[in-house]
Amino acid sequence: MWLFVAFLAVPLIEIALFVQVGGAIGLFPTLAIVIITAILGTYLVRAQGFAALANLRQSFSQLSDPTEHLAHGAMILFAGALLLTPGFFTDAVGFALLMPPVRLAIINYAKTRVHVQGFQTMGDGNSMHFRARTGKDDVIDGEFMDIDVDIDTDSGKKPTHPPSGWTKH
């Protein structure tokens, strides 16, 4: 029900704001503001996304609980989607999600609603498995594996492209 209300209310709010702002400052300044906020939002999301990714990698390398870093990353990703959506209301919510205190408040609220009973990691050097249990019978599983490949096994050739940072070559 809440999702239906959001999908109905957000476009109506955006239309009302476009009409009000466009009537006050004109069409082209309104469009310029929308484009500038999308460009500024893209830059901020990229910078904060790299920082969140670095924090996530550090938590994995230290075998610590990555859930808070994952939540920050998810909210930054959601903020990026909102900032690329044309509109003043979505921009305001997107910029709010880019502020770490706002994200921490949302995470702290979520922590009161979800009770993690345990968190464990298991790794053998090449792979890691983590499991978090909520207060109910829900289990959140995650697994990743570090694959060290020097030669493409299908063709027997070494990759000719430069490393992307996401893979090891």
Residue ending a domain, choose from 96, 113, 130: 113
Q: Domain range holding 31?
A: 9-113
Summary mean pLDDT of the chain: 79
Domain shared by 76 and 134, yes or no: no
- Looking at the fold, whether 68 and 13 belong to one and the same domain comes out as yes
Domains identified in the chain, total number: 2
Q: What percent of the chain has pLDDT over 70?
A: 67
Tens-digit pLDDT profile for residues 70-127: 889 999 999 999 998 888 999 999 999 999 999 999 999 988 887 665 555 555 555 5
For residue 76, the Cα-to-chain-centroid distance in whole angstroms is 4
Q: Does a structural domain hold residue 1?
A: no
Shared domain check, 144 and 92? no
If asked whether residues 77 and 108 sit together in one domain, one would say: yes
In a domain, 169, yes or no: no
Instruction: Name the pTM for this structure.
Output: 0.65
Contact 158, 164 (CB under 8 A): no
Q: What share of the chain is helix, strand, coil (3-state, %, to 5)?
A: 60, 10, 30
In the predicted model, is pLDDT for residue 11 greater than 70?
Answer: yes
Q: In this structure, are 100 and 154 located in the same domain?
A: no
Average pLDDT over residues 139-164: 59
